[in-house]
Amino acid sequence: MPRFLNMRRPRCHFLILFIQFVSITSFYHYVTPIRGEDNKTSGVTVDVGIILDLETDVGKVMHTCILLALEDYHATANHSGIRIVPHLRDSKKDDVEAASAEPSLLAKGCPTTSYLWATMSTQTDFVIDLGKRVKVPIISPATSPSLLVEENPFFIRGALPSSSQTKAIAAIVKTYEWRQVVVIYEGGHFGTGILPHLTDALLEISTSVSYRSVISPSANDDQILTELYKMKTMQTRVFIVHLRPLLAQRLFLKANKAGMMSDGYAWIITDLLTSLLDSVDPSVIDSSMQGVLGVKPYVPRTNELINFTKRWRRRFRQDYSDMDPVELNVFGLWAYDGITVLAKAVEEVGDTAIPKFKKADTIENLTDLDALGTSELGSHLIHSMRNIALKTGLSGDFRIANGELQPSPYEIVNIIGKGERSIGFWTEKDGISCELKMNGKTAAKCDNKQLGDTFWPGESTIAPQGWEIPTSGKKLKVRVPVKGGMQQFIKVEIDSKKQEVTATGLSADVFKEVIRSLPYALTYEFIPFQIPDNPTSPDYDYLVYKVSSKEFDAVVGDVTILASRSKYVDFTLPFTESGISAVVPVKDDDRKNTWIFLKPLKGELWITTGAFFVFIGFVVWVLEHRVNEEFRGPKRKQVGMIFWFSFSTLVFAHRERITSNLTRFVLIVWVFVVLVLTSNYTASLTSMLTVQQLQPTITDLNDLIKNGEYVGYQKGSFVKDVLKHMKFDSSKLRNYSTLEDYNDALSRGSKNGGIGAIIDELPYLRLFLNKYCRKYIMVGQTYKTAGFGFVFPKGSPLVPDISRAILEVMEGKFMNDAIQRYFGNETDCEQKDGMAITSDSLTLDSFKGLFLIAGVTAGSALLIFFLIFLYQNREILTTDDSILQKLSAIAKVFVEEKDKCSSLEILDDGAKSQPTTPFSASPETLPNLPSQSPERTASPTYEGFSTTEPGTPVQEPVT
């Protein structure tokens, strides 16, 4: 007996799913003639060794398919002279029997170049090693992902690996938004191979495997039932089953007995069980598998397949007339296509007369395997077979690339009655759809539905939520914090007689409303958790930690969502906005201040405005004093005129006539500046006198640190850690429980045993300001936090549903009513948010542009005036006098009144000169001719500019 037959191999007690060992095919060194009657026809025979488990339905189905494939090949083969001769061997459900078949066939001496076909992973491992030793291509429909084509150059997989279906299963899970699943798999090589790939596919859609249940093929019914009861106590209600048909049949019978095939449960079976569903007892399907979903490789229903199915049934009844009818399955179609591909590869190599097996040169110290020799033709054949396609295969597009059968679409079925109904398809490119084109490509989505109508366990048409509170009668244990203050958010009352716990407040009411809005019933009970006054005692962080240890199921209260806490628990979406800010006392009312009229403008703006008034008055005097009698006279009068004229523009009360165009240009700009200044001053002062001013005592949190102020925070809050992080001295921190404590501490101040500011979360501060809005105000920057949320253990399936329900509640009327009920009308205190602290004084920065324009205008007018003045008196500058004498002469001319006639000549731009003798007549001389006055002569009316009434006589005579 060969040495390897002495190896102890375990006998298999489970179904051998595929062909066990196929194809020892050889080409003789000398062409073997096939003689006919005329002895002229010759060809090459290819001996194919076929090892099947003929004690199983699958083995018999595949046997018939292989025989039909060989008949079809011989009937349609061109005259190549190649004939395939099968050699059948029955493994009888025995791994050792199957594994020993190939060496025994090789030892017969007829084949010298072999194609070996095996499926069981325990057998395929051995066969692949043997094929590597003798350099023979191995075609195997083994589905185990652990058998890698890349690591075995002579291995060709003729079926889809079980890992290829994992993304299709994950797509189903994603469609129904299940966040946790339980995987039930068969112990051994078959079951464990899919687990890593399935887990990775589920993680890609953010779904976790909450439990893995391994079922041994040798497990009895009691052991299976015990495992099912264990899974029933868990929350997850979605089960993925990866078992062989016989073991799966027992599992579903016991699942039905355990009440796990009822409403609320979801079951998904893998492709092996789905494809071989006809091998399961129909009574089991009818009683214990209704509503189960399954995936299997999609096989197009072509005319060729329909005709072949009829032929196969007739042939199967002939070969196995003593057994009940069975249905053709995908494994039989793969066997048919595999033989067809094998024949195609043989034809491509041709009848090359190359020795097929090279024997060893010496026979000493040789093992039985070494004595078989090696195939010299194997490398040619493996090259042809690793990349080959059969687009018209019975199983569809049967295409092998790099030694691996390429993925095909998966069909999703729903078990109803005694059979299955297709509800959708899945492809790698397009995911789930409800239809496929005939060429296998995804068609348009059907009415925005990914899957068709589905029938679920318990005769339900509503998709299960995927989880539920385990075991009947158990309630959700919800912890609620008990504390002395801030009961508007959470208030817990305990009835000692009835031992009942009642929770009210915004947090509790929102939670109750959320539970009522869920599409399913969820029972719960409140369990109080005391927040003690001792700072070293357990606080909210401790409460959250208890959820992570699963001592209870949830926390409802004013618990802030923090990154540090989210490492251990899951939070729902927040039901309140939040942030951290500060509240400080306000100063006394400034409206009682005697000097409040000065507050609208900052000091630098007052100074700048006054300086510009003087400057503009000076510019107007410079431009007018030589040509306008109203700007002449004694020095005291001229100085007074400078101040009077400029400040009178503030209220537009100036009555002096303007004669110079440069002066008019300056005044137009300056009056606009005055208008803007007075308007803003009036508005600011009005605001200060009519709106209540809430000036904070402190505007920056850094001032609290610099001044050594005491700061308060809420007892048990995480704000204490935030303050320490902000560099506040721990000795300057004081905690309080109630709004009244806050008010008392702030009223006393830091110097009298109180505090200078309260730093807390916005919901608490707004509640405080709503009660004491006239005394305190919110200041400083708001540090954002996520808000209040409900706490659940990590991975809780409740979190997505609760979060969606929170959004619905917040968008409805309930939230506004709850806020009104617990916090009152927030509009009663308009200043509580610190948005209108005060009307700040106007600064110089706001008016720099206006002053710049006024300054440039006045400066330009002065420059033009002096250029004209120097030009008119250029004869003085051209004299031989000293510089001091010239300056003295220029100054004397500048101070003196300009000659009226000369002025008129300049203004009239070359008009005919008039006599320069002064007109000495007084107004009394010509009472009826006011227009003949010397002033009117010197300053024509079309050049005059005055705010006086028309016809108003000038009382001051010309001097």
Q: Do the Cβ atoms of 19 and 159 come closer than 8 Å?
A: no
- Quote the pLDDT of residue 836: 42
Spatial CB neighbours of 362, under 8 Å, sequence gap ≥ 6: none
Q: Could you read off the pLDDT of 683-727 as tens digits, one per residue?
A: 888 877 776 556 677 777 888 888 888 999 988 788 888 888 888
576 pLDDT higher than 70: yes
Q: Tokens 């989505």 — which residue? A: 445
> Does residue 672 register a pLDDT over 50?
yes
Q: What is the pLDDT of residue 953?
A: 42
Percent of all residues in the chain with a pLDDT value above 70, rounded to a whole number: 75
415: pLDDT strictly greater than 50? yes
CB atoms within 10 A of CB 845: 10
Q: Which residues contact 70 (CB under 8 A, 6 or more apart)?
A: 48, 84, 86, 339
For position 80, what pLDDT does the model report? Answer: 62
Q: What's the confidence (pLDDT) of residue 201?
A: 94
Among 561, 949, 581, 902, which residue's Cα sits nearest to residue 764? Answer: 581
Nearest to 545 by CA among 514, 517, 566: 566
SS3 20: coil
What is the predicted pLDDT for the residue at 372?
Answer: 58
Select the more confidently predicted residue: 857 or 657.
Answer: 857
pLDDT level of residue 295 (50, 70, 90 thresholds): very high
Three-class SS string for 814-878?
Answer: HHHHHHHHHHCCHHHCCCCCCCCCCCCCECHHHHHHHHHHHHHHHHHHHHHHHHHHHHHCHHHHC
Of 267, 275, 259, 256, nearest to 291 by C-alpha is 267
pLDDT above 80: residue 144: no
What does the CA dihedral 234, 237, 243, 245 come to, rounded to 10 degrees?
Answer: 130
The total of other beta-carbon atoms located within 10 Å of residue 446's CB is 13
Report pLDDT for 296: 93
For 472-520, the pLDDT digits (tens) are: 446 888 999 988 778 889 999 988 777 788 999 999 999 999 998 887 7
Decide: helix, strand or coil at residue 50.
strand
Q: Is 936 within 8 Å of 953 (Cβ atoms)? A: no
Give me the pLDDT at residue 200, please: 93
- Give the pLDDT score at 309: 92
Least trusted range by pLDDT, from 123-132, 384-393, 417-426, 806-815: 123-132
Task: Report pLDDT digits (tens) over 178-209.
Answer: 989 999 999 887 888 899 999 999 999 989 89
Round to whole Å and give the CA distance between 320 and 474.
56
pLDDT of residue 937: 38
Range scoring the smallest mean pLDDT among 158-167, 625-634, 673-682, 854-863: 625-634
For residue 345, give the nearest of 398, 395, 294 by alpha carbon: 398
User: For 40-80, what is each residue's pLDDT tens digit?
Assistant: 344 677 777 777 778 888 888 888 998 998 888 888 866 56
Averaged pLDDT for residues 551-567:
90
Q: Is the pLDDT of residue 925 over 60?
A: no
Residue 23 has pLDDT above 80, yes or no: no
> Which residues 6+ apart lie within 8 Å of 377 measured at CB?
27, 113, 349, 352, 354, 356
- Phi-psi bin for 776: left (phi > 0), alpha (psi -120 to 50), beta? beta
On the question of pLDDT at 898 being above 80, the answer is no
Looking at every residue in the chain, the average pLDDT score rounds to 77
- Kindly report which listed range (116-130, 136-150, 474-488, 859-873) carries the lowest average pLDDT score: 116-130
Q: Please report how the helices 813-823 and 762-771 are oriented relative to each other, as an axis angle in degrees rounded to 10.
A: 50
Helical segments of 212-361, H only: 221-232, 245-257, 271-275, 282-288, 303-319, 330-349
* Torsion sign, CA atoms 898, 900, 902, 908: positive
Length in residues, the chain: 959
Higher pLDDT, 571 or 361: 571
CA distance 383 to 135: 12
Does residue 852 have a pLDDT over 80? yes
Span 139-150, average pLDDT = 76
The proportion of the chain whose per-residue pLDDT surpasses 90, expressed as a percent, equals: 22
> How does residue 946 score in pLDDT terms, banded at 50, 70 and 90?
very low
- Local confidence band at 363 (pLDDT 50, 70, 90 cut-offs): low
pLDDT for residue 586: 82
Contact 440, 300 (CB under 8 A): yes
Distance in angstroms (rounded) separating the CA atoms of residues 261 and 252: 8
For residues 107-133, give the mean pLDDT.
56
14-18, 484-488, 619-623, 627-631: least confidently modelled range: 14-18
Instruction: Please say if the pLDDT value at position 612 is more than 50.
Output: yes
Average pLDDT of the segment spanning 884-905: 68
Question: In this predicted model, what pLDDT tens digit does every residue of 297-352 receive, in sequence order?
Answer: 999 888 999 999 999 999 999 888 888 888 899 989 988 988 888 888 877 776 55
Q: Is 914's pLDDT higher than 70? A: no
Q: Decide if pLDDT at 941 tops 60.
A: no
**pLDDT band at residue 371 under the 50/70/90 scheme:** low
pLDDT at 188: 82
At a CB cut-off of 8 Å and minimum separation 6, what does 926 contact? Answer: 932, 933
Predicted pLDDT of residue 750: 87
Q: How much is the average pLDDT of 135-148?
A: 76
811 or 33, which is more confident? 811
pLDDT digits (tens, 9 = 90+) for 450-469: 788 899 999 899 899 888 76
Residue 899, pLDDT above cutoff 80: no
Which pLDDT does position 637 carry in this prediction?
75
φ, ψ (nearest 5 deg) of residue 530: -75, 130
Q: Say how far apart CA 509 and CA 489 lie, in whole Å.
A: 9
Residue 626 pLDDT level (bands cut at 50, 70, 90): confident
Provide the pLDDT for residue 185.
Answer: 94
715-774 tens-digit pLDDT: 878 888 888 888 888 889 998 888 899 999 998 888 888 999 999 988 888 888 888 877
Identify whether the C-beta of residue 120 lies closer than 8 Å to the C-beta of residue 367.
Answer: no
Does residue 424 or residue 473 have the better pLDDT? 424
pLDDT for the residue numbered 204: 92
pLDDT given at position 487 = 85
